[in-house]
């Protein structure tokens, strides 16, 4: 019998599995389709909240912890698997001129490098932008990864560590007896485990509800479009009025994103595609002359203030949750995995665990 059974093979489940496996635990991961094909694939891979000063300190603490370790993680995975997830310190250039005061007040707490920049500096940093922006903010340390490659690398790494991965296997029920988790019921069989971790992203609330636990995690659709430029034509992540462009090493440029409350609906809309394309061309006029390659949508695991639920179920021993990472699950994933591993193994936690606990959520069980 496994020490831990993790439900959900997005980045949160995958990194939780890796962290527990590295510490010597026997881990099973159960995914209802293929690993990492939901929000973790759809996301942009920016390793920072978009305007971090707008987030609670709990989000910033997880993001900061992860940022300090992401490059090493990507290098370790490349050494182990040969797959390079393209950690790139492309920097984040913010063109909104009303963010300066809040950003500069926030930066010292997290020793973040945030530099006010004028029109000349903006043009020098990113000549592909139109010369209309008079001031902005430059965060040179912000990095990105290519999340689909990170998922591939984690799949190989987990396999080589002996983590048992069951794909195309949906967990239909959590099995508990006398207030203690026993395992899970999948569409094929019962699978027993000492401890069970729910890491089902936007679907986490559905699974927990039947045990009487309500968590306010709900799907928030995000649509993205993809262009293809020449490598290096755009060099930095650029953010303006909530929209962003992310240049990949091969010249591809991701443009995001929408925030839509439409339930579990991943269809893409012409309206969103046209809006995103229009904003993208305003931000980077050269995008009007290159092909749009792709348009997709993903369901973020939305939570009230973007703070994920990481911790023990208040009433069922051995049941844990790691879900609700909303817009920042890629950047917060390594820290979330470590925090949950610390909690399940009764170790001192690397950040204060209180803000992530489920204790304030309602239980009817």
Ligand X SMILES: Cc1cc2nc3c(=O)[nH]c(=O)nc-3n(C[C@H](O)[C@H](O)[C@H](O)COP(=O)(O)OP(=O)(O)OC[C@H]3O[C@@H](n4cnc5c(N)ncnc54)[C@H](O)[C@@H]3O)c2cc1C
Interaction site with ligand X (CB under 6 A):
7-13, 30-33, 37-40, 42-46, 170-171, 199-203, 207, 222, 224, 256-257, 298, 300-301, 323, 325-331
Q: How far is the CB of 131 from ligand X (least distance, A)?
A: 27
The residue among 93 and 285 lying less far from ligand X, judged by its C-beta, is 93
The residue among 124 and 294 lying less far from ligand X, judged by its C-beta, is 294
Q: How far is the CB of 4 from ligand X (least distance, A)?
A: 15
The Cα–Cα gap between 260 and 252 comes to 25
The residue among 137 and 332 lying less far from ligand X, judged by its C-beta, is 332
Q: How far is the CB of 120 from ligand X (least distance, A)?
A: 29
| CB distance 284 to 129 below 8 Å | yes
| CB distance 223 to 208 below 8 Å | no
| CB distance 73 to 47 below 8 Å | no
Please name every residue paired with 197 in a beta bridge, in sequence order, or none if there are none.
Answer: 6, 320
The Cα–Cα gap between 191 and 178 comes to 18
| CB distance 32 to 166 below 8 Å | no
Q: How far is the CB of 165 from ligand X (least distance, A)?
A: 12
Please state, in angstroms and as integers, the Cα–Cα distance from residue 211 to each residue in 205, 206, 214, 220, 284, following that order: 10, 10, 9, 24, 49
The residue among 13 and 91 lying less far from ligand X, judged by its C-beta, is 13
With tokens 């690397």, the residue in question is 350
Q: How far is the CB of 166 from ligand X (least distance, A)?
A: 9
Please state, in angstroms and as integers, the Cα–Cα distance from residue 224 to each residue in 138, 145, 275, following that order: 24, 16, 11
The residue among 104 and 262 lying less far from ligand X, judged by its C-beta, is 262
Entry field: residues in the chain: 365
Q: How far is the CB of 191 from ligand X (least distance, A)?
A: 11
β pairing state of 180-186 and 190-198 = antiparallel
Show the DSSP H helices in the chain as ranges.
11-22, 39-42, 57-67, 70-81, 100-106, 119-125, 147-160, 204-209, 270-283, 329-344
The residue among 28 and 285 lying less far from ligand X, judged by its C-beta, is 28
The residue among 254 and 284 lying less far from ligand X, judged by its C-beta, is 254
Q: What are the strands of the beta sheet with 292-302, ordered from one edge?
A: 115-118, 135-139, 92-94, 237-240, 243-247, 252-256, 218-228, 292-302
Q: How far is the CB of 10 from ligand X (least distance, A)?
A: 2
The residue among 128 and 297 lying less far from ligand X, judged by its C-beta, is 297
């Amino acid at each position: 019998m496994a020490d831990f059974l993790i439900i959900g093979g997005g980045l949160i489940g995958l990194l939780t599995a890796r962290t527990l496996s590295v510490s010597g635990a026997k881990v099973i991961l159960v995914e209802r389709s293929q690993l990492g094909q939901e929000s973790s694939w759809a996301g942009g891979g920016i390793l920072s909240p978009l305007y971090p000063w707008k987030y609670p300190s709990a989000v910033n603490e997880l993001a900061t912890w992860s940022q300090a370790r992401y490059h090493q993680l990507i290098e370790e995975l490349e050494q182990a698997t040969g797959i390079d997830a393209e950690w790139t310190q492309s920097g984040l250039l913010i063109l909104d001129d009303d963010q300066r005061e809040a950003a500069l007040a926030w930066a010292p707490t997290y020793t973040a490098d945030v530099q006010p920049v004028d029109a000349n500096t903006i043009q020098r940093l990113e000549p592909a932008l139109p010369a209309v922006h008079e001031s902005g903010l430059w965060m040179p340390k912000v990095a990105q990864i290519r999340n689909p490659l990170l998922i591939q690398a984690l799949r190989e790494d987990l396999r080589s560590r002996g983590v048992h991965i069951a794909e195309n296997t949906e967990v239909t029920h959590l099995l508990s007896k006398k207030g203690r988790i026993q395992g899970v019921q999948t569409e094929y069989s019962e699978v027993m485990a000492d401890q069970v971790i729910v890491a089902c992203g936007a679907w986490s609330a559905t699974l927990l509800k039947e045990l009487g636990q309500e968590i306010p995690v709900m799907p928030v659709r995000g649509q993205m479009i993809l262009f293809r430029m020449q490598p290096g034509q755009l060099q930095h992540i650029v953010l303006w009025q909530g929209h962003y462009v992310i240049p990949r090493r091969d010249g591809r440029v991701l443009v995001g994103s929408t925030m839509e409350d439409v339930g579990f609906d991943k269809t893409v809309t012409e309206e969103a595609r046209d809006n995103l394309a229009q904003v993208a061309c305003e931000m980077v006029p050269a995008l009007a002359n290159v092909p749009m390659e792709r348009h997709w949508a993903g369901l973020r695991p939305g939570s009230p203030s973007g703070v994920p639920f990481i911790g023990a179920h208040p009433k069922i021993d051995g049941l844990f949750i790691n879900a609700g990472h909303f817009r920042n699950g890629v950047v917060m994933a390594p820290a979330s995995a470590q925090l949950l591993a610390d909690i399940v193994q009764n170790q001192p936690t690397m950040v204060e665990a209180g803000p992530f606990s489920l204790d304030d959520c309602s239980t009817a069980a």
